[in-house]
Structures are given as C-alpha cells and as structure tokens.
Amino acid sequence: MSENSHHLILGELVDFLSGKTIPDTHDERYRQQIARHLMTDLGFDKSDIEAGREITINTTGRSAVVKADFIVYRNQRAVMMINYAPGSLVTRRLPTLALSRLIFDYQIPFVVITNGQDAELISGKTGKVEGEGLSAIPGPDHPFIQSLPDCEMVSAKRRSQAEKIAFACLVDGSCMVENACDAC
C-alpha cells in the first residue's frame, strides 16, 4: 500500500483511454471496465470521453479536489457523468448528483453511479432514477443522448448546496465541525 492511499496497490496497468501506466487497484480495474464498456459496447469514441476530471470544491472556508471518473460529450457538450463507487449505489446517488452540478455552469443531463457490477442512470434535472443496470447506460445513438433538451443553468443557490453535499460526502475528513467526530 502506498503511504498516501487507502487502496491496495496491486502493481501497474495501462490505462485504456490514455495508454499511460497507472497504479493497479481494485477500484481502477472497475474504472477500466467502465471505459471499455463506453467504447467497445456502447460505441462512444475515445475523443468523447474525458477521464479523471478534477473539480475543486469550496465551502465554509475549506476546499478540496475530487474527481469525476468520466464525462461523456456529444457535439462538444457534456451529456453524461459517470462515477464509480464501491458498495451501495443508493448511498452514492446524492453526492454524485451534487458533483455533476459543480463541473460546468449547466447541469449535465445524465448522471450514472456504478459499482462496476450494477449502475443507476439518474436524470440530472430531477434526480430521479431513469434506469438500472449497466445496460441502462445510454450509448451515443440512444434517444436520451440524441434528443437532449437545452442546457439548464445551475443556480448559485443550487451550486452552493451541491458544494456542501459533495464536500461532506466525497472528501475524507470533511467534518464541518471541529472535533465533532473521532474519525476526522
């Protein structure tokens, strides 16, 4: 295990999208499967997929950087954000949706949370689950992707709320109150 990581490093692997050598972890193996699924099974072009986008979250005088695993584009517009998280998808819905509201000034239309074995397709606008399972992830020719509505701007209030949710749920040691818990 590396000194600054809570992930077991199993060696190295070659990233499917970039061709770069990266640390091999259980989580990274799932991310590689997702990238392959997007290109091989669904038909997205490599140039339509941005991996590992860093997002800076600023709230209550604190800041942190978190990553969106994949942002998928059509016609130079983000149409879907996909995040991998091990375990229960239900507990990951809200922070993943919140993160999707912090990347651009508009709401990404579709948000996917996956543990690599299951997935939920969530409407960015409503937060409702639109589909379940890896097969619910739409490809470039899917009607969801082909008939996207106009961009909905993220209001300052919604952005502020999203920052608090994302910070609290996605940042290690993020307790907002000093000495509030032993784990921080």
pLDDT tens for 133-172 read 999 999 999 988 888 777 889 999 999 999 999 998 888 7
Does residue 6 lie in a domain region?
no
Residue 128 predicted with pLDDT over 60: yes
- Supply the range of the domain harboring residue 81: 11-170
Cβ contacts of residue 46 below 8 Å, gap of 6+? 17, 39
Does residue 63 lie in a domain region?
yes
Does residue 184 lie in a domain region?
no
Q: What is the tens place of the pLDDT at every residue in 60-80?
A: 788 899 999 999 999 889 999
Does residue 178 lie in a domain region?
no
Q: What is the tens place of the pLDDT at every residue in 21-70?
A: 878 888 899 999 999 999 999 999 999 999 999 999 988 788 899 999 99
Does residue 183 lie in a domain region?
no
Q: What is the DSSP letter of 35?
A: H
Q: How far apart are CA 117 and CA 114, in angstroms?
A: 7
Q: What token pair was written down for 147?
A: 């008939």
Q: Based on the structure, what is the number of domains in the chain? A: 1
CB 7 within 8 A of CB 26: yes
**29: part of which helix (H) or strand (E)?**
helix 26-36
> What proportion of the chain, given as a percentage, has pLDDT over 70?
90
* Residue 7 C-alpha from the chain's centroid: 18
Does residue 3 lie in a domain region?
no
Q: What is the CATH number of the domain that holds 134?
A: 3.90.1570.30
Q: What is the tens place of the pLDDT at every residue in 98-112?
A: 999 999 999 999 999
